[in-house]
Structure formats: C-alpha cells, structure tokens
Amino acid sequence: MTLPIININVDLPSVPRSGHFTRQFWQALGEGRFLLQQCTACTALRFPPGSICAECPGSETLWIEASGRGTLYALTTVHAGPPALMRDGPYTRAIVDLDEGVRLIAEWLGDPETRFDTPVELVVTRYTNGCLFGARSIAA
C-alpha cells in the first residue's frame, strides 16, 4: 500500500543518514513505502533497520512492506525545542504502534488532543532536503 506523501516546502534541520543497512528504507520511504526488516531465522521484525537481530543469532533479513496502519499510543507537543525546529512554533510528535507490532516515533499531523488508542495511518513527510514520516487519524 502506498503511503500518502505530504510535501513540506522547507528544509529538515537534521537529515537522517542513509547507510548500508538503512538506504533501502529511506529510498522506499521517498516512494511512499514503509519497509521493515524481518529476521529470516526468528521472524522478529526490526526497526530501525540494522546489521544484526537483537533476538537471535540470525544474520539474514527480508524487507517487508508495512501496511501503514497502526494505533496511536501517545502524543506530546514540544513547546521548547531546538530553535531550528521551533521556527513554525510548537510541534507535536506521536508514538505509533504499527499493526505489524512495531513501535515508532512519527510527526503528528492532526489535533494534538486526539484520543489515544485510536487508529492512525502513516504518511511520508517530504521536505526539500529529505523525508521523514508522520501519522494522522483515520476512521475506525
């Protein structure tokens, strides 16, 4: 499933590095796909991606594409953050639990008072110099 891509016409103050084990993730994200690594030995999902499995000695992985659906675990709005990020005022971040069983941080696109444990979808936030990911509410 391709994620909605939201263009944000400013630079990201801190651009994530892309490396041997992460470049596929960032490339796919730019195309609207959210990839998770899966250990071929123990089937554990790994996020962020990397060279080894924390659960078993296995070293082989598959890339699987996440559904982009999940649940909102918590929100906070940062009113005192680094100046470069505060240029447009306070910003809200989410902890999202993907349906696949992965927890991650995402930008929050929506009401900062949204009720927790409600369904969300991931979106790609495409800045002028790189991509991050966000989340927003969807109907149950």
Partner 1 sequence: MNAPRKVAIVGAAASPVGRWAPSDQDDDALFELDVLGPLVIAALAEAGLDRSAVDTAAFVTPSPSTRQLGFSTYMAARLGLRCNGSVSEVSALGVSGGLAFDQALADVALGRAETALALGISYQTNAPLPVVMEHSLRAVGDVDFQSPFGLTPISWYAFDAARYMHETGITREQIAQIAVKSRRHAMANELAQFRKELTLEEVLAQRMIVSPLGLFEVPSVADGAICLVLASEEAARASGKPYVTVEGRGYHHEGYHQIGGKPHDMTAFPAARQAARAALDTAGVSLGDIDLAELYAPCTITEVLVSEAIGFCERGRGALDAIAGATSLGGRIPINTSGGCLSRGHPPALTGLYGLFELREQLLGRCGARQVEGARLAMHCCESGNYNAALIHVLEGPK
- For binding to partner 1 (CB under 8 A), which residues are involved? 12-17, 22, 45-48, 54, 73-85, 90-91, 93, 95, 97, 101-107, 112, 115-117, 132
User: Residue 54 or 140: which CB sits closer to partner 1?
Assistant: 54
Min CB(34)–partner 1 separation in Å? 12
User: Residue 70 or 121: which CB sits closer to partner 1?
Assistant: 70
Min CB(80)–partner 1 separation in Å? 5
Min CB(62)–partner 1 separation in Å? 17
**Which of the 8 DSSP states describes residue 117?**
T
Bridging pattern class, strands 69-78 and 61-65: unpaired
Min CB(31)–partner 1 separation in Å? 18
Min CB(139)–partner 1 separation in Å? 20
Torsion from C-alpha of 91, 104, 99, 137, nearest 10 degrees? 0
Are the CB atoms for 98 and 70 separated by under 8 Å? yes
User: Residue 26 or 121: which CB sits closer to partner 1?
Assistant: 26
Distances from the Cα of 9 to the Cαs of 17, 30, 46, 78, 115, in angstroms? Answer: 20, 15, 31, 21, 29
List beta partners, residue 129.
none
User: Residue 28 or 45: which CB sits closer to partner 1?
Assistant: 45
Are the CB atoms for 70 and 94 separated by under 8 Å? no
User: Residue 30 or 112: which CB sits closer to partner 1?
Assistant: 112
